[in-house]
Copies of this chain bind each other. A is one copy, B any other.
């Protein structure tokens, strides 16, 4: 029987949850949802599916040490720094190669490091079905999330006809991938049914994924063969990556492979999922008070409604007469913005970056 592997993609630049997240401390290293770094929660969630020695984590070289500290159960040699970011397609190709080198019949789950998932049992049940199917079928399985609302921040995929069952769970053809829709289109998707959120979560035999790269992204496949060859010659992994990785095309896995591939299938997730893209998303993961405020830390609120308040323990964040704000306090920086403008944080960070000696704030 083939073994299950997981490759966790831990990219992220630490912008969307500033000032808690920083360049040196992106979201997956923080307990944005839950009380442990999100990457550590992602590792724990795999218990029973893939043991730590079958888990790889791909990240930026500057985050390797922090992830090793956050995930001590994962063998440190399997926490690998990409010398430069090249988006998800090269990372997935590297994942396929790493697993195939270890186990020619290995099945790999590609997972984001920083998604919020509360129903770990549902996650394991769904993934177990997908692992079992991928071991036998030459398909790339994705896990589609039944949409909880008309999200415009996610891409969707359109579920086609049922192709089979695995451990009692049906799987379907993916008819197409669709880009992030506008609000009315998202509402139509919800009404029509058959549309699922694309969570960029895939389960596939490593050799099947390598074949897909050979067919649809031959330049990346060539880079991987080059890398494979250097590793076979005994070149240290970091050195081989430094030589090859920068030359790879920067492109997402969806664009490079998934949208072109004929053999993509989908399981519907039997669990909740949220990529928690910005501060206001916390509302979906925390108990609000009677006035709709979500508070982490110590606060004093008077006639304040619908705010998101995050502070260090022991620091009192006090709001008087303000509504629908995000207020985040850290030891060296504090953010105040309306919830409705949290997605503009990057513009604010450009203002910070333009300040003298501001890198320690970024």
Contact = CB atoms under 8 A, between A and B. Distances in A.
B318 A352 contact: yes
A253 to B, nearest CB: 32
Interface string A345-362: 101101110010010010
Contacts of A322: 325, 336-338
Interface stretch (A34-42, A146-154, A202-210, A326-334): A326-334
A333 B320 contact: no
A336 B336 contact: yes
Interface of A: 19, 298, 300-302, 311, 314-322, 325, 327, 329, 331-338, 341, 344-345, 347-348, 350-352, 355, 358, 361
Given A320-B341, A341-B320, A302 B334 contact: no
A322 B337 CA distance: 6
Contacts of A19: 316, 318
Nearest to A302: B348
A331 B332 CA distance: 9
A334 B355 contact: no
Contact of A316 (B317, B321, B332, B341): B332
A269 B208 CA distance: 88
A318 B334 contact: yes
A75 to B, nearest CB: 38
8 contacts: A300-B352, A319-B335, A320-B345, A321-B338, A322-B337, A329-B334, A334-B334, A336-B336
Nearest to A355: B300
Q: Enumerate the 5 nearest inter-chain pairs by beta-carbon distance, A residue then B residue, closest first.
A: A320-B337, A321-B341, A316-B333, A320-B348, A302-B348
A296 B336 CA distance: 16
Contacts of A352: 300, 316, 318
A318 B345 CA distance: 10
Contact of A325 (B333, B336, B351): B336
Contacts of A336: 317-320, 322, 325, 327, 336
A116 B352 CA distance: 33
Nearest to A341: B321
A358 to B, nearest CB: 8
A82 to B, nearest CB: 30
Contacts of A329: 329, 334
Given A314-B332, A322-B337, 11 more contacts: A19-B316, A19-B318, A300-B355, A300-B361, A302-B350, A317-B333, A319-B336, A319-B337, A321-B337, A321-B344, A329-B334
B338 A300 contact: no
B351 A301 contact: yes
A333 B318 contact: yes
A321 B340 CA distance: 9
A347 B358 CA distance: 37
Nearest to A347: B302
Contact of A344 (B302, B333, B361): B302
Contacts of A317: 333-334, 336
Contacts of A301: 351
Given A320-B348, A338-B321, A315 B302 contact: no
A113 to B, nearest CB: 26
Contacts of A327: 334, 336
